[in-house]
Amino acid sequence: MTGSPPISATPLDRLGTLRPGTLGSAAPSIDARDQAKIKASAEDFEAFFVTHAFEDMYGDLSSDPLFGGGEAENIFRSFLLQEYGKQVARTGGIGVSDMVQKQLLQLQESPR
């Protein structure tokens, strides 16, 4: 039977979190600093992804001529959407970060 490995064979649980003590001596060890880097990279990618989704959503909105508009508002909106994306990723996000983190950890664990 082919498919995904049995749950006990993988060092990641079904949510992609590394289970403690499951990396055998044959697999390269991933220290806490590397795990933190992987988590930060995955979160940054999710923030980037969400920011671009927000930019698409806000793309067709025109500014209110009574209160502003122009290039300054476009620049401010860009910064605002970046911060929205970072905040969404920081507070749990939409699941992209978890998937990216899981894949990065699997790449680190696979023997070369």
* pLDDT for 86: 94
11: which DSSP letter? S
pLDDT (tens digit per residue) in 81-101: 999 999 999 998 888 898 998
Residues 25 and 111: beta-carbon distance below 8 Å:
no
User: Structure tokens of 100?
Assistant: 């990216």
pLDDT (tens digit per residue) in 5-62: 554 455 556 555 555 555 444 445 677 888 888 899 999 999 999 999 999 998 888 7
Q: Using CA atoms, how far apart are residues 68 and 52, in angstroms rounded to an integer?
A: 23
